[in-house]
Amino acid sequence: SFFPPQSQLSQALNGLSDRAKEAKEFLVQLRNMVQQIQENSVEFEACLVAQCDALIDALNRRKAQLLSRINKEHEHKLKVVRDQISHCTVKLRQTTGLMEYCLEVIKENDPSGFLQISDALIRRVHLTEDQWGKGTLTPRMTTDFDLNLDNAPLLQSIHQLDFVQMKVSSPVPAPPILQLEECCTHNNSATLSWKQPPLSMVQVEGYILELDDGNGGQFREVYVGKETMCTVDGLHFNSTYSARVKAFNKTGVSPYSKTLVLQTSEETQSEEQTLPFPVPLERLQLRRMSPFSSTLNLQPSFPGRSYFELRSSAHQLSLHSSLQSLNSADGRVPVRLTLCYLSIPVAWFSFDPASAHADIIFSNDNLTVTCNSYDDRVVLGKTGFSKGLHYWELSIDRYDNHPDPAFGVARIDVLKDAMLGKDDKAWAMYVDNNRSWFMHNNSHTNRTEGGITKGATVGVLLDLTRRTLTFSINEDQQGPVAFENLEGLFFPAVSLNRNVQVTLHTGLPVPEFYASRSAMQ
């Protein structure tokens, strides 16, 4: 019965010994803190003195600058006054001399001699008197210094000078997660969506979306902001784009998300395409201009609907076309996107109200346009092209008073209130009822006989493989190849006034005159 209490006491002493050891270590830590506080205090005081000395030095430098301005003002005032003293002294000496001479003449007893010079002297006296006219005896400079030092803001800042409590920085955000069920392609755009990890409590101030050039090149920033969904327009056909996103706050930038790989189609395009303008608010997404050109689509598996599979690894996600079943044996999780594709390699599009001049009038699902102004106004198509062969036609529904509408292609920032081709952003053919001309940058070339009337059809053929633009009227080529060496992103374009109405026809095959010429080449 003696040993158990002894054993218990021994165990209790061991626990107390551990606490005593921890207390000694804690005391050492506190003493080290005392030393550290003293060292930090000396360092902080030195820093404060240096900062205040820097402020004093800045104030002294400013004082020297202000004193220099006062000295300059002082010298200027003295110079003006001294110049006036000198000038007035000379004039006074001249006046005094004239007065003395006149008094001597008056004393002369020779009347005939006096009469000979009296008139001249009188004129000279009046002239001298006039020289002492108004303002001559007024100081040109005041003795006051019209300067007032505004030191109130600085004094207020000095009184408000205080220490700022340092706050512990929050950590950098976690990498965003791509929401694959919302990532898709539609016509000439790719939409990417992301979110923060569900359990992340770190504040995020914004996101940076990056895309490569579609050719394995470097990533470039295409969007920076607070939105978590972004649509990028105008990408190349038949290209593989990689996209990634990262988050940032005041502390720093997160690592990148996994990389999403998007495969664009070769030529196939959807029935409706959109320009890079803001989409309806209900979609709650931000649309940005892309630094790249042309149109993006994923290759469809079959017309009307497409399936895409998701390949996941530690570093990369791949989104591409697949006809495999929805339950893959290897664990891949396919994402189904409902896209409306056509099975023929042509582009279908309409006119774009968002980019058109306000005087343009739309009808027929934006396929027919006219204008309410007598001046030429420009309207663009919704689709931009930078690769491939594209052909569309415009039928002349109304043609009154022999106007000269223009047809062709243009950059997105073309002038909208002038005839197409007036600036360097458009390549066009303008035509009246008898003849046509090509025009770019207000340069008119290749006058060609043959015009348009109501019911005529104007064709526009953009071959970006050969980098040419060709026109036709009623299915016959109009003039030679209109423009060559075209490069970049082009939108179908028309300029017209209220005397013309046209209807757009797209999704057309290449005309025979061009197909036969291409076959011979």
Identify which of 438, 431, 436 has the alpha carbon closest to the alpha carbon of residue 469: 438
- The pTM score is 0.41
pLDDT at 290: 33
**Cβ-count burial 107-131 (b if 16+ within 10 Å, e if not):** eeeeeeeeeeeeeeeeeeeeeeeee
What mean pLDDT, rounded, does the chain reach? 78
Contact 452, 430 (CB under 8 A): no
Amino acid (one-letter) located at 299: Q
Rounded to whole angstroms, the Cα distance separating 389 from 272 reads 18
- What's the whole-number mean pLDDT along residues 357-386? 92
Identify which of 466, 467, 469, 491 has the alpha carbon closest to the alpha carbon of residue 478: 469
DSSP string, 198-213: TT--S---EEEEEE--
The CATH architecture annotation of domain 360-519 reads: Sandwich (2.60)
Sign of the torsion angle spanned by Cα atoms 62, 67, 71, 74 = positive
* Contacts with 85 (C-beta within 8 Å, 6 or more apart), sequence order: none
Angle ∠(394,398,404) on CA atoms, nearest 5 = 70
Residue 342 pLDDT exceeds 50: no
Domain boundaries, the chain: 7-132, 177-263, 360-519
Rounded to whole angstroms, the Cα distance separating 257 from 487 reads 34
Digit-coded pLDDT (tens) for 188-213: 577 888 999 877 788 899 999 998 88
Lowest mean pLDDT among 11-20, 53-62, 310-319, 495-504: 310-319
pLDDT at 271: 35
Burial (CB < 10 A; 0-12, 13-18, 19+), residue 245, is: buried
- CATH code linked to domain 177-263: 2.60.40.10
Rounded to whole angstroms, the Cα distance separating 157 from 160 reads 5
pLDDT at 186: 65
pLDDT band at 352 (very low <50, low <70, confident <90, very high): very high
Lowest mean pLDDT among 183-192, 324-333, 496-505: 324-333
pLDDT at 65: 92
- What's the whole-number mean pLDDT along residues 366-390? 91
Which residue is listed with tokens 């205090």? Answer: 41
> What's CA 444's distance to the chain center, in Å?
33
